[in-house]
Amino acid sequence: MLQSIRGMRDVLPVEARRFRLVEDTLRAVLRGYAYEELQLPLLEPTELFARGVGEGTDIVEKEMYTLADRDGESITLRPEGTAGCVRALLQHGLLFNQTQRVYYAGPMFRYERPQKGRYRQFQQVGAEAFGLAGPDVDVELMALGRACWRALGVEPLLRLEINTLGAPAARAAYRAALVDYLTPRQGELDPDSRRRLDRNPLRILDSKDPATQAILADAPRLPDFIDDESAVHFETLQSALTALDIPFVVNPRLVRGLDYYTQTVFEWVTDALGSQGAVCAGGRYDGLIEELGGRPTPAAGFAIGLDRLVLLHEQVVPVLEAAAADVYVCVLDSESLGWAFAIADKLRQALPTFRIRVHAGGGKLKNQLKRADQSGARFALLVGADEMAAGAPSLKYLREDREQQSLDLPALVQALAAAGV
Ligand code: HAM
């Protein structure tokens, strides 16, 4: 039998319901902060990510799904959303002389080693703010994150880590100092870190290898290289977080795996998901718009890993209601089918939160009631020639010890509304 591609999951109905709940909650919070939705292509020119995310990053070096289009153009399934977002806003002239606050949601693709919380197709909900240079918008993005965690009840499981990479010149000076320090010691580094030494040395700070960590203990420290302006930006940010009562820890080793960051970087991390602890990550990327051909424009944003957030939500709310339907309409004879559909539609209109399933495929009432039971519905509605003649379907309570009732439509709506979903 054909199987799905490794790292690409099927999200089956019960889990899909949780994804929907979590995503809808995030969308509602983003809406409340007046962020507007952008819908972007899954495929982009490969060059966008090479230039945007950075040639030396793991993503571009070894994780992209890249293929030749039929005309030979190299195209890539998006590994993240920020570069495409900038591309789209530039292409449509939406960054010129204006600010933008936008969000996007959808699948991203990275050829990573799959494990719990890490997939090759995964979902992100990302938020980006353009044209705003001050730390106030950095704070807004963190407040927005906290509002999301609160709305989902996962706030106690997450902590905010922040750092500053400084202005590009400071970052470059630090990079050079780190390379100078590590080069004579490269024989003692783990193989991944050795490979990163010329391409992406800051990422070595992330290494979990004990020998590498021991060497890093005496390495030059990023905070010593930060320029004054960035230091002030970072301090203002911290005061504002304190004023907003958003707890955080400064992690000077937090450097992020994408090249476009400048100044503020942050991650919301959890200890509840094993090694895949980053649930949301982002930062400022003031140089990316220019890198992609626009005028210098400050920008900052984050992306939430929806798959990980869903796993976290499951720990807080282990069981979501498993029923597929609330009302199951049993059709007692083929002549009543039209009326059954009409009743079901009227109920859907009158009770928009109810899920109403009409039986298909005929059969005896007993078998239809079995299906009703399997659907998890609390109510069955019996619709046949007698009910049609009386203008009143019979309401049967499937999960309570209550008498079956014959009710006309208004009474039926009232009875269901009173019982609730
Ligand atoms: P990122 O750190 O690469 O940043 O990804 C953001 C989040 O996506 C991660 O914290 C994680 O929750 C989730 N994620 C990443 N890879 C996987 C995977 N293989 N499986 C499951 N979840 C994953 C970015 O993508 C930036 N574009 C964020 C950003 C937006 N920075 C500024 N604006």
The H or E element containing residue 36 is strand 36-37
Q: How many CB atoms lie within 10 A of CB 86?
A: 26
Please report, in angstroms and rounded to a whole number, the separation of the first and last CA atoms in the chain.
39
Give 254 Cα–ligand 1 centroid separation in angstroms. Answer: 14
Give 278 Cα–ligand 1 centroid separation in angstroms. Answer: 8
Instruction: Please identify, by atom number, the ligand 1 atom nearest to the C-alpha of residue 280.
Output: 10
At residue 279's C-alpha, the angle toward residues 287 and 189, to 5°, is 70
Give 79 Cα–ligand 1 centroid separation in angstroms. Answer: 9
Give 350 Cα–ligand 1 centroid separation in angstroms. Answer: 41
Instruction: Please identify, by atom number, the ligand 1 atom nearest to the C-alpha of residue 112.
Output: 19
Domains of the chain listed by start with CATH number? 13-167+227-316 (3.30.930.10), 327-419 (3.40.50.800)
Residue type at 310?
V
Q: What is the pLDDT of residue 381?
A: 98
What mean pLDDT value characterizes the chain? 96
What residues flank ligand 1, with Cβ below 6 Å?
80-82, 110, 112, 118-119, 122, 124, 126, 128, 258, 278-283, 285, 301-303, 305, 307-308
Q: What is the pLDDT of residue 262?
A: 93
Give per-residue pLDDT as tens, 161-173.
999 999 999 999 9
Q: Residues in the chain with pLDDT < 50?
A: none
Q: What is the pLDDT of residue 257?
A: 85
Instruction: Give DSSP secondary structure letters for 204-216.
Output: GGG---HHHHHHH
Give per-residue pLDDT as tens, 237-248.
999 999 999 999
Q: What is the pLDDT of residue 199?
A: 86
Between CA 168 and CA 174 the distance in angstroms is: 10
Buried b (16+ CB within 10 A) or exposed e, 288-321: bbebbebeebbbbbbbbbbbbbbbbbeeeeeeee
- Tell me which DSSP letter residue 98 carries: S
Among 5, 122, 125, 264, name the best residue to mutate to test ligand 1's pocket (greatest count of ligand atoms within 8 A of Cβ): 122
